[in-house]
Amino acid sequence: MEVIPGDAVPEPYRALLVHERDMTSTLERFHGSEIYIKAQGAEQRDGKYFREVVLHLANNDVPVEFGANCVNLHLFTPEARWMILQRKFPWAASSRTTRSRTRSACPAFSALNRMRSSTAH
């Protein structure tokens, strides 16, 4: 895995990933489907909540992103905190539903080399 700065992310991925909008609505617009999450792991410590999630398209269950996030729970309303801790809602959905104001930014990106296998026919 290689860590790369946002301005080095190639298109079309840069337009999709490198921004300060919430990722969920950006992916929903791009794919034309609502998004739901499957939490892979989570930890709450010192008022912060860390989680790893896979975002899936609601219309066909296809995974479209892996995310590792940290939020300060004190910045959310009690209702939004409850939604986040249920591990079913993206941050943005929790914020939109409860009218919490949030800002999203990704400080780093990683490039993964995907191994491909070839099959002789």
Q: What is the pTM of this model?
A: 0.66
- The model's pLDDT over 43-64, given as tens digits with 9 standing for 90+, comes to 999 989 998 989 899 999 999 8
Across the chain, what does the average pLDDT equal? 77
**Which helix (H) or strand (E) segment is 3 a member of?**
strand 2-4
Domain boundaries, the chain: 2-110
The residues, any chain, with a CB within 8 Å of residue 67's CB and separated by 6 or more, are 23, 52, 53, 54, 55
For the chain, percent of residues with pLDDT exceeding 90:
15
- Counting every residue written for the chain, the total comes to 121
- φ/ψ of residue 24, rounded to 5: -60, -50
Cα separation, 34 vs 96, in Å, equals 14
**CB of 25 within 8 A of CB of 94?**
no
Q: What does the pLDDT read at residue 120?
A: 40
